[in-house]
Amino acid sequence: MKSMWLATIVACVISVSFWLAASWSAGVNEPWDAQCFWTVLYPASLVLTLTLGLLFQARRWLAGPIVMFGQIPCVVMTSEAGPLLAVGILYSLLLSIPAVMMSWGTRAIYRRLAATKAGGVAGD
């Protein structure tokens, strides 16, 4: 997407929607309380990070924190914002580290897709 703001807004809406759907389907108020968080939800969020990373023309690494911090509005909407919200923010920060690395890595994927589309060689 050409507009950084538009890409950010789209990524935020998709991320919060993802976490709300994940919480609802798992029957929990907080996504990280789901029994399948580490086996299904977190890996799915990393795939979402890769996908959303392709929206950004520059600063692709932003997709990682946007996806992981999308859990915070979900928690605020589904349960009360209490003193443990600060722990949730720290938790989201830690979860975003691998997501940042993955979304930053979409640069290589984007280059390969662009090279393939242009008919060039896909090597770096």
Tell me the per-residue pLDDT of 76-106, one tens digit each, with 9 for 90 and over: 988 877 888 889 899 999 999 999 988 877 7
- Extract the residue ranges of the chain whose pLDDT is less than 70: 1-2, 120-124
Give a yes or no: residue 93 inside a domain: yes
Give a yes or no: residue 124 inside a domain: no
Give a yes or no: residue 27 inside a domain: yes
Q: What is the domain range of residue 50?
A: 4-118
d(CA 24, CA 49): 20
Domains in the chain: how many in total?
1
Give a yes or no: residue 74 inside a domain: yes
Give a yes or no: residue 123 inside a domain: no
Can you state the angle between helices 85-118 and 71-78, rounded to 10 degrees?
Answer: 140
The pLDDT score that the predictor gives to residue 72 is 94
Give a yes or no: residue 110 inside a domain: yes
Give a yes or no: residue 78 inside a domain: yes
d(CA 88, CA 66): 14
User: For the whole prediction, is pTM greater than 0.85?
Assistant: no
From 109, 123, 98, 115, select the one nearest 56 (Cα to Cα).
109
Taking a C-beta distance cutoff of 8 angstroms, is the pair 74, 26 a contact?
no
The pLDDT score that the predictor gives to residue 119 is 73
